[in-house]
Amino acid sequence: MADVVLFDPAHLSGVLDLCRSEGWSTFPANPERAKASLTAPGVLALVAVEGTRVVGFAQALTDGVAQAHLSLLATAHDHRREGIGRSLVQETLRRCGAMRMDLVTDTAEEFYAALPHRRFHGFRIYGDVQPSGGTS
């Protein structure tokens, strides 16, 4: 089983590899920005490591008291269904100090529904940029 530890800049290349494997371009496009995002105040970033390989990571924004938002969660394709994602979610909630953690997903509903949760309806607010995919 992988160990879940706090993100360290030495883990950055492994996190970028996971992002690439998911088709997420933001972090790989600018590794310095990725490192800044993962180490920013109010951010909790954890990695699941097996030996020296990063096999999962989670990033949450938290006030450390009442609420947190799980921003990113990824598990290596060859390590799925091993409990790594669940461990990352549980450890993120435990370490962030919040009473609850909210998240938005469009690809992993079944995974998150298996965790203790309450479903709610929400909105994603954009600035002047119209999101792709319609007018909502």
Read off the pLDDT of residues 66-101 as tens digits, 9 standing for 90 and up. Answer: 888 888 899 999 998 899 988 998 899 899 988 877
Helix (H) / strand (E) element for 26: namely helix 26-29
Which three-class secondary structure state does DSSP give residue 80?
coil
Rounded CA-CA distance 84/91 in Å is 10
Residues 8-24 have a mean pLDDT of 96
- Domain architecture of the chain: domains with CATH: 3-113 (3.40.630.30)
pTM of the complete model beyond 0.95: no
Tokens of 124: 């994603």
Residues 6, 15: contact at Cβ < 8 Å? Answer: no
Q: What does the pLDDT read at residue 128?
A: 63
41 or 89: which carries more pLDDT confidence?
Answer: 41
